[in-house]
Amino acid sequence: MERNKNLSGISGIAAFEASIAIEFRKGDRYLCTDASAGRENIRQMQQLARHGAGLATFINRAVRERYAQRLH
């Protein structure tokens, strides 16, 4: 996890982790985190999802089984 900068010094949040939940058409759902898939891969998946093209190909090539958890 990444430490929260806490610039004010009064935040109750110590750390955070970026993640993305992926749901495939067949219903399978997976959670990918910085720790499981890599920070840059998470950022790339978020960008591709917003762009609307290339996400499935990127997951198949770069992430595959590097998910943190299978969601139900």
Provide the whole-model pTM.
0.81
Q: What is the pLDDT of residue 22?
A: 96
Q: What is the pLDDT of residue 3?
A: 87
Confirm if 44 and 59 have CB atoms less than 8 A apart: no
Structural domain boundaries in the chain: 18-71
Beta bridge partners of residue 19, listed in sequence order: 33
pLDDT tens, residue by residue, 16-55 = 888 999 999 999 999 999 999 999 999 999 999 999 999 9
1: confidence class by pLDDT, cuts 50, 70, 90: confident
φ, ψ (nearest 5 deg) of residue 6: 50, 55
Q: What is the pLDDT of residue 44?
A: 96
> What is the C-alpha to C-alpha distance for residues 10 and 53, in angstroms, rounded to an integer?
41
